[in-house]
Structure 1
């Protein structure tokens, strides 16, 4: 069976020769199977031929945000899964799904078991605005909405109401903001051939939303999206795009920013072109995308019942500061924007676990080139054998490829510490590695999903998807995922 009690694996591992186990292996545990974790595993396998790597993840499925974060209409971005699958199926690598750091096993236990522990579990929470009305119904984080339409098992019951309003407001103008706006506005016939979760497709097919506002605190020069993402949403068929031409006026500081950034210059050019080519008025029933600049939310407005969101009260802003450091300040002028759905795309946030130093202000683990520091002070001591990579290390920024360079830096630090004898002094007893993990999981009766359990999930999703002309039909409930993995 693919769904394992740890005791079964222990009996198998004890049949290995004692000479193999007593040789000096480097036992590595990577917590998190997203891009940062799998790039780290790949680099470790190449750099250290004696390394045995275990990857644990709280989900029964690997690949992190490649599966749960990449938009369903971006299949080319998901091709990296083929590379990651080769890493996870390497004979010196093992995947342990359905194993949660902090509940299934503690950080202290992992550090006792492994020579090296690399934390790569990313950011699974959200930043908050901290303004009145933020808890009204109809307000969601972009992460929640993305996980909902991507079939994440934590959010298959989210049920956002898309048919009681014709207007949605997206707070933010980064790539994730453009993703959620595009999913709301794209013809569902085009989404039907993607791997979008079936429950989301049905809801979008019944959606009455025809108007989406993308709202940013600063101007078009500072929009945080890439030209590729912007070009894609502007290219949606029969979409009316509205941009106030007055918002496109540039200051001398804006000009300097654009001169120093090809990306910002290209984004501005695309927005300017869209503004000049827009129709005078939208056609009745036509879907609309409105870019709104120089606005920051002051509070959320509630409906007559006092339960649901009915709009956003915005303060107008203007920019202050030098080029590259311009920030939005309020003008004291306000306006309301009516809507029945709000998606906050204002940033992800990592969460700490017991025993892990954490900078709550920055939302990262204090580190130097991936080496975890004992605290946030200037003279903090390095935590031996504990490393960090990805969003936990640098904050929730960058694209999938950014994690490759991030992983290279962390693995270089591990290699340097090995060369200097920091990690494996001969005076210390050998750490058990995988066998120790199996013993802990067995003692707590944790049933884990190995990589071949994921392969069974993968196969069923692809077979079910082929029946509906989709690349896969995602399994979206914990119960069914574990049942299929059990095989």
Structure 2
């Protein structure tokens, strides 16, 4: 028997699941259904353009797509183009790997004011996601970024650097024009905990200081380290490296560069204050370390004069049509990747992997181990249930629905088209931004 498996989601989680299946001792036939005309998910649409090294992972992911047991069916949307129950006609098992690309709510007053943005939406814009708008409001001179992770650093860095600095990357013309016209001079990054608990990677943090146009200012107020902090960095090598870098910068005077990134620790956002419906002030409360890796409020309130706020406090998965969803945890209920209904009973032949399984935490290594766990359960439990087992049956179904499927050949043509645009501009690549242009280029 050849096991027929559909994987919904063409990002790292879905592709790693395909890789695990291909490497198993079971004969498999795998279709990866991806909503966009291009694969690779947040590796393509969530990594900042000026971090091309991270995108090297695309080469490894693409090797999986080249396996003869794997087909890419791009531009196919679960729920609109094909329903979950319809997939069961063609596949013995369905693996949901749709990830997370929405913003987690901060849940403070003023979050919905004009000028208050989710970081994920901004990332989608500067990464040229086909569902993102082609313009972005960048009139604010003083900007707040809320969060202490790499996404917060990416947003702060993109806001602070000049458009011309970003022109060496893969951004298309509309993103360059937007960044070139932005007015931000000061970008303030706020973390509610102390510097020992910042979730920046050491490399990303050090890169903040590489721009010839940006000074990095680490404010001494709130730069506190207690015994619990020291114990934390003793257990976490990366946290120690981050703290060492920050300690070298703390209190350092700006050198006169035209843009500044300010890092503030032990400041907890409590309200975004508006005027005529637009952001005018960020209100924070000073926190203090309490000796158990957590913080508490002190009641000391500070108002910051900003005209825009970017919330980088985490991604959030969205519900999947036809599956139960835990709104609080923002995951599909599961046991080791085996989907459970609202009564805790197994949903036969249905699995999850990646962020939709465990929440938007962890790095690529966690995604690989997620896939291994899910695929082990799939192989142990799945039997032959599909009634239309030939790949051509799926193709005919989607054709009848009028779906313009973007397969692997389409992606390879689009890939070469973007590389060709880059060569013309003296860059590695220039992204094609709209869905229609992506589909046309792939033809």
2:262 aligned residue: 290
CA contact (8 A) 1:300 1:311 kept: yes
RMSD value, Cα? 1.9
Aligned counterparts of 1:165 and 1:142: Cα–Cα separation in 2 = 15
| Counterpart secondary structure, 1:85 | helix
Q: Which residue does the alignment assign to 2:354?
A: 390
1:271 alignment counterpart:
246
Aligned to 1:226: 201
Match of 2:383 among 401, 424, 438: 424
Corresponding residue number in structure 2 for 1:358: 325
Distance 1:165 1:359 in 2: 37
| Alignment partner of 1:457 out of 414, 422, 426 | 414
Cα distance in 2 between the residues matched to 1:257 and 1:85: 38
Q: Give 1:475's match in structure 2, choosing from 432, 436, 443.
A: 432
Distance 1:466 1:26, change over 3 A: same
- What is the DSSP-based 3-state SS (H/G/I as helix, E as strand, rest coil) of the residue aligned with 2:109? coil
Distance 1:108 1:430, change over 3 A: closer
CA distance in 1, matches of 2:321, 2:219: 49
Counterpart in 1 of 2:124?
147
Using the TM superposition, give the Cα deviation of residue 49 of structure 1 relative to its aligned residue in structure 2, in angstroms.
Answer: 5.0
Q: Within 2, Cα distance between the matches of 1:89 and 1:258? A: 42
TM-score normalised over the length of structure 1 = 0.86
Q: What is the aligned partner in structure 2 of residue 338 from structure 1? A: 305
Any idea what SS the aligned residue of 2:189 has?
strand
Matching residue of 1:73:
50
Q: For residues 410 and 433 of structure 1, do their structure 2 counterparts lie closer, same or farther at Cα, with a shift above 3 Å needed?
A: farther
Q: Does 1:90 align with 2:67?
A: yes
| Residues 28 and 433 in structure 1, CA contact (< 8 A), matched pair in contact too | no
1:161 matched residue in structure 2: 137
Report whether the alignment pairs 1:124 with 2:96.
Answer: no
Distance 1:124 1:440, change over 3 A: farther
Residue 55 of structure 1 pairs with residue 32 of structure 2: yes
In the comparison of the two structures, how many residue pairs are matched? 443
Q: Which runs of 5+ in 1 are unaligned?
A: 1-23, 418-422
3-state DSSP class of the match of 2:145? strand
Of residues 4, 10, 13, the one that matches 1:33 is 10
Shift of 1:388: 0.8
Q: Which residue, 376, 399, 418 being the options, matches 2:363?
A: 399
* Range moving further from structure 2, 220-229 or 394-403: 394-403
Inter-partner Cα distance in structure 1 for 2:213 and 2:412: 40
Q: Offset of 1:451 from its aligned partner?
A: 1.3
Contact 1:182 1:233 in 2 (8 A): yes
CA–CA separation in structure 2 for the residues paired with 1:356 and 1:219: 39
Q: Quote the offset at 1:267 in angstroms.
A: 1.2
Contact 2:3/2:26 (8 A) holds in 1: no
Task: Determine which of 248, 256, 277 is the counterpart of 2:223.
Answer: 248
Moved more, 176-185 or 126-135: 126-135
Cα-to-partner distance string for 1:90-121 (whole Å, 9 max, x where unaligned) = 22211111111111111122233211111111
Determine whether 1:315 maps to 2:290: no
Shift of 1:42: 1.3
CA apart distance, 1:48: 4.1
Displacement of 1:431: 4.9
C-alpha contact (below 8 Å) 1:114/1:433 kept by paired residues? no
Find the counterpart in structure 2 of residue 18 from structure 1: none
Deviation of residue 261 (structure 1)? 1.7
**Structure 2 gap segments, 5+ residues each:** none
Alignment partner for residue 434 of structure 1, among 366, 374, 391? 391
- Indicate how the Cα distance of structure 1 residues 429 and 472 shifts in structure 2: closer, same or farther if over 3 A, else same: closer
List 4+ stretches of structure 1 deviating above 4 A. Answer: 428-431
Could you say which structure has the larger radius of gyration?
1
Structure 1: distance between partners of 2:427 and 2:281: 36
For 1:313 and 1:144, the matched residues in 2 are separated by 23
Q: Match for residue 5 of structure 1?
A: none
Q: Distance in 2 between matches of 1:429 and 1:414?
A: 15
Between the aligned partners of 1:484 and 1:242, the Cα distance in structure 2 is 44
